[in-house]
Amino acid sequence: MTSLYATYAAYAVGASILACYVVWVLYLAIMHLVRAREYGTLKKTARWLGYPVVLVGIILDWLLNVIVGTVLFLELPKSPGELVTARLKRHCNLPTWRGAIAWWVCHKLLNTFDPSGRHCD
């Protein structure tokens, strides 16, 4: 029976890592759309094709925050509609283990690709 639990735990960890990666790739796509809009190069067709990407990204971001974020940070979201970025902003500058995780995600994975360079600040 123990090996069955270990198998389920391995699947859960693998699914969580995959979910983080998929949401990050969607974040990259959305930030590229934002950058194109800011430069005035986002055409109508690309904008309409990008809307579903944004919608899927927001939904998966919310799910990631509710499921993986709750386990990773050992706390429930502060509000029902909170996304990962709100949680990261809340913890990023705190001198705690949660702050260390949030700082790493913000500075190593998110800020670089945000057109403002300050996604979590």
84-91 and 97-105 helices, crossing angle to 10°: 120
Per-residue pLDDT tens over the stretch 29-62: 999 999 999 999 999 999 999 999 999 999 999 9
> What is the rounded average pLDDT of the residues 58-86?
96
Distance, CA of 120 to CA of 102 (rounded, Å): 9
For residue 34, the tally of other CB atoms under 10 A from its CB is 17
pLDDT number for residue 121: 82
- As a dihedral over the C-alpha atoms of residue 14, residue 15, residue 17, residue 22, rounded to 10 degrees, the angle is 140
Using the predicted structure, report yes or no on whether residue 87 has a pLDDT greater than 80: yes
Using the predicted structure, report yes or no on whether residue 2 has a pLDDT greater than 90: no
Distance, CA of 49 to CA of 13 (rounded, Å): 32
pLDDT number for residue 83: 96
pLDDT number for residue 30: 97
